[in-house]
Amino acid sequence: MIEIAPSILSADFARLGDAVAQAESAGAERIHIDVMDGHFVPNISMGPVVVQALRPVTSLPLEAHLMIDNPDRYIDAFIDAGTDIVIVHQENVPHLHRVIQQIREKGKQAGVALNPGTPVHLLDSVFAELDIVLAMTVNPGFSGQKFIPSVIPKITEIRNRISAGNLDCDLEVDGGINDETGRKAVSAGANVLVAATAIFKHSGGIAAGIQSLRRQSEAKDILV
Ligand code: DX5
Ligand code: ZN
């Protein structure tokens, strides 16, 4: 089954609780929270206080995508605020194994994200420890960017690794996901679709955005 993870980066921040409640009613499986520090990525977004504010609003898992330097310093704060899933980036974590253990020892799910330019083999020695691999399909920093099609073979490569190892690991894609690119990503092997613009800026509203993504990504006549 495909999971839809609305990224609140494109939600109406003045009505964030309502936006998340609507996403939950429309059948979203998790809420994706993009954390940016103005160093690892050029943009600044939100911190643990947002997780804390949303925790009572939804029973869905809250997923923090940490696009920040020194994520190990902030993991406990995000978990204490109510985060269920913590995703760090391979590119700026020298002690990746330790950070994954830090997350799992707290009983939370651990994920690692790969930028479009980062090869899959850099995860070789930690792959079996991961609950999630997130393939970035844009360069991180902003919502509303265009899907990078050259990431598609990498999605398949990650799916093959998960299958070959018989691993219990989600494969998420994040960036420029809409009805068309979501379908391509699922066809390549993704099982979790992160989307901000396609959901929170959908002309028919949040529920319509989620339903459309799900319908298209689960369509039988998949065209790549
Ligand atoms: C990008 C973030 C994404 C972003 C997705 O750095 O990690 O989660 O919010 O936005 P859209 O779906 O608009 O590309
Ligand atoms: Zn994200």
pLDDT tens digits, one per residue of 153-201? 999 999 999 999 999 999 999 999 999 999 999 999 999 999 999 999 9
Quick check: CB of 139 below 6 Å from ligand 1?
A: no
Q: 218 versus 207: which is more confidently predicted?
A: 207
DSSP state of 47: -
* Token pair belonging to 176: 């420029």
Task: Find out whether 118 and 148 touch, Cβ atoms under 8 Å.
Answer: no
CA-closest residue to ligand 1 atom 4: 143
Judge whether residue 221 has pLDDT over 80.
no
**Strand (E) or helix (H) holding 147:** none
In the predicted model, what is the mean pLDDT of residues 77-85?
A: 98
Interior/surface letters 173-182, b for 16+ CB within 10 angstroms, e for the rest: bbbbbbbebb
Task: Find out whether 85 and 131 touch, Cβ atoms under 8 Å.
Answer: yes
Distance of CA 11 from the midpoint of ligand 1 (Å): 11
Calpha distance 58→82 (Å, rounded):
11
Distance of CA 175 from the midpoint of ligand 1 (Å): 4
In the predicted model, what is the mean pLDDT of residues 115-132?
A: 98
Which residues have a catalytic role annotated? 34, 174
Calpha distance 92→5 (Å, rounded):
24
Q: Which ligand sits closest to the CA of 45?
A: 1
Q: Kindly report the pTM of this predicted structure.
A: 0.97
Residue-range domains of the chain with CATH: 3-217 (3.20.20.70)
User: In the prediction, which pLDDT does 223 show?
Assistant: 53
User: In the prediction, which pLDDT does 219 show?
Assistant: 84
Handedness of CA 85, 88, 93, 96 (dihedral sign): positive
Distance of CA 33 from the midpoint of ligand 1 (Å): 10
pLDDT tens digits, one per residue of 6-40? 999 999 999 999 999 999 999 999 999 999 999 99
Quick check: CB of 177 below 6 Å from ligand 1?
A: yes
Sheet holding 3-6, edge to edge: 3-6, 192-195, 170-174, 132-136, 109-114, 85-89, 62-67, 31-36
